[in-house]
Amino acid sequence: MNQSTSAPPAARPAAPAAPAAARNRCPAAAAADPTPCDGPPDTATLVDREGREVTGCVRHCARLLPGLDGARVHPFAPAPLALDIYFRASELPPFAWEVGR
């Protein structure tokens, strides 16, 4: 037998890397939403009707809020930021990125 048994196993193919813009976006940013983050990625947390939470920047929380039925900004978010999110969300349709807004 001329084969070495100490050879390393075949490497798994590497997972495709996410685009740089997607890696630097907050968790509230939808994959199809092309807009960049506005502020820190942990500015506020949205809570939906089922109690699920997602944290994100002001822009993406505001863009996500109209599409979440019964969602609200977590009460521990600073009032000025929560108001900014609500005001921005009031001007947007659900899933604004799908209609080009």
Please report, as a single letter, which amino acid is at residue 18.
Answer: A
- The DSSP line for 12-32 is PPPPPPPPHHHHTS-TTS-TT
Residue 22: which of 10, 14, 30, 11 has the closest Cα?
Answer: 30
Tell me the pLDDT tens digit for each residue of 15-52.
444 454 456 899 999 999 999 999 899 999 999 999 99
pTM (2 d.p.): 0.74
Task: Give the Cα separation of 38 and 56 in Å (integer).
Answer: 9
Classify residue 41 by its DSSP letter.
T
Question: Which pLDDT belongs to residue 40?
Answer: 92
Question: Which pLDDT belongs to residue 17?
Answer: 44
Question: Which pLDDT belongs to residue 101?
Answer: 64
Query: Residue 44 corresponds to which tokens in the numbers above?
Result: 């506020």
